[in-house]
Amino acid sequence: MIQKDSLHTFRWLVPAGFILLSPLALAAAPVPVDDSRTVPVNKDITIDVLRNDFDPDGDSIFIDSTTSPAHGIITVNGDGSIKYSPDENYLGADSFTYTLIASDEQVSETAATVSINVADTIVTPFTAGRNDRSVASALDDMCIRLTSTPEDELSSGSRKTLERCEALLELSATDPDRIDGIVNKIGPEETVALMRSNSGATANQSSAVGQRTAQLIRGINRFSINGIAMNESLTGGAAGDDSPSRLGFFATILHEGAKKDTTDLESGFDYDANGLVVGADYRVTSKLVAGGAVGWTQNDLEYSDDGGEVDTDILNLIGYLTYQSGNLSLTGQLGYGTSNYDSKRHIQYEEPTSTLDVTAQGETSGDQIYLSTSAEYLWSHEALTLYPYARAAYLHSQIDGYTENEAEGWEVELGEQELDQLTLSLGIQGQYALSYEWGVLTPTADIALMSEAFADQGNVVGRFAFDTDPNNVFEVEADEEDQFFYQAGIGAVSVFTNGLSTFIEARMTGGYSDVSAYQLLAGLRYEM
């Protein structure tokens, strides 16, 4: 029985699955994400702060509230971006915060912070490497100056550079991680490869002449097979006699291939070079021979990562002397040459609204002086002959400055390049003579330890061609030469009747930290 006026409590247990919640109770709040940007002094920047924000439910998001920066003002645009304007001449850090609201009226639980760096640099903070940072510093100075100059005061070339700068500024604000790679493409670090192609070609031409001087020395007072001294008489119809002729001619064809890896300072490249050296000499006395040669090399160099190419033509005139006293011999070379370069730098990257794809083209020329001397000693036992030797070679090379064109604003002017280089070599060559009915075949092998004992290649000074300040320059530095490396080779020499001989040789250069190279030589000589 239930008593009147008494209080009774009743409870029901309801499974959770039967409870219905409103959509608003289940909705998740939008999430704002912090941003950071760099803006030039006295310049505005528009920041798409919503680009990296999100709503877990996929709802549309909008700016709900903002705080004011300490050193500027902000304006919220209709598309959700925020315009920041720094105070006049202010340099340093600034910031503001904002919150979000979603289309389902959920408000973000935390605020995002937008960090602003008002600086007199745009791209330098995002670049690495000495060459790229030097170029970036010049870019910053130029771009800030151009954006502050009325367009009607700029030349057509400077206005084109201004377009590139404005796109670069936007990228530094919206996608700074790409800046380092873009500056690397804009910078002309490839230019230092011109000197490498010059020095390599000149050294190979000198090596071809060295083949000839070795032939002359080893042919004195003994039968010579393309420079391979024979201490036994030929049998079975091999031609030649022991008395050396006074007048001789030679011709050598050259091929070289090399690959350089990309480093912090230089772009990588692959190149192929083909050349020809022809010459003649006269035996003044039984111990002294004088001669001259002309060498020509055409070099095709392709930069890594589709970075462009360089075509080079190098022509050298080389005089040489040989002198022998007993088993000791001395040689000397003196050469002078000219070089011509056709450079193409490929610059390609994505700008905010389009793809920049241009090829900066430039032409220049230069000259070089080459001096070398060597000493070798003959030791033989029956058909085996060994020649220990020491060599020193000095090269002075100069390349004129030049200005690029057709780069849509990124053209550069590059100053003169110079190189002074001393290379020392210590090695030994061995050979073994085999006599046949048709003549004599002599396999050869040699190895040398080499050192760039001295190498002074000054930095290349450059500037952007349409910069309004002629004193705003950057510098491009080359990699240091390896102190020690080696060269090894194998070959064969054939001697026929009537004073004709031929040879072929393959060499490889190793021990470089970033370069691998090989050389192929083939030629003939004829004694009158």
Rounded Cα distance between 260 and 513, Å, is 9
pLDDT at 218: 67
**HSE-CB for 521 with a 13 A CA cutoff:** 28
- pTM for this prediction: 0.76
DSSP 152: G
DSSP 126: G
Using the structure block, give the residue that is written with the tokens 């151009």.
Answer: 146
Q: What is the CATH number of domain 35-119?
A: 2.60.40.10
pLDDT at 412: 98
Domain ranges of the chain: 35-119, 121-135+177-230+255-274+284-314+322-479
CA distances from 391 to 206, 260, 337, 460 (A): 12, 26, 21, 30
pLDDT at 25: 52
Determine the distance from the C-alpha atom of residue 32 to the mean position of all C-alpha atoms in its chain, rounded to a whole number. Answer: 43
Q: What is the CATH number of domain 121-135+177-230+255-274+284-314+322-479?
A: 2.40.128.130
Give the contacts of 185 (CB within 8 A, at least 6 positions apart): 307, 347, 348, 349
One pLDDT digit (tens) per residue for the chain, 528 residues: 334 444 444 444 445 444 444 555 567 899 999 987 777 788 888 888 998 999 998 999 999 999 999 999 999 999 999 999 999 989 888 999 999 999 888 999 999 999 988 877 778 888 999 999 999 999 999 998 887 787 888 999 999 999 999 899 888 877 889 999 999 999 999 899 899 888 888 999 999 999 888 878 765 333 444 333 343 434 433 344 455 578 889 999 999 999 999 988 898 999 899 999 999 999 999 899 999 999 999 999 999 989 999 999 999 999 999 999 989 999 999 999 999 999 999 999 999 999 999 999 999 999 999 999 999 999 989 889 999 999 999 999 999 999 999 999 999 999 999 999 999 999 999 999 898 888 889 899 999 999 988 888 889 999 999 999 999 999 999 988 778 999 999 999 888 877 788 999 999 999 888 889 999 999 998 877
Residue in 528, 425, 436, 442 with CA at minimum distance from that of residue 486: 425
pLDDT at 23: 52
Q: How is residue 19 written in tokens?
A: 């409870």
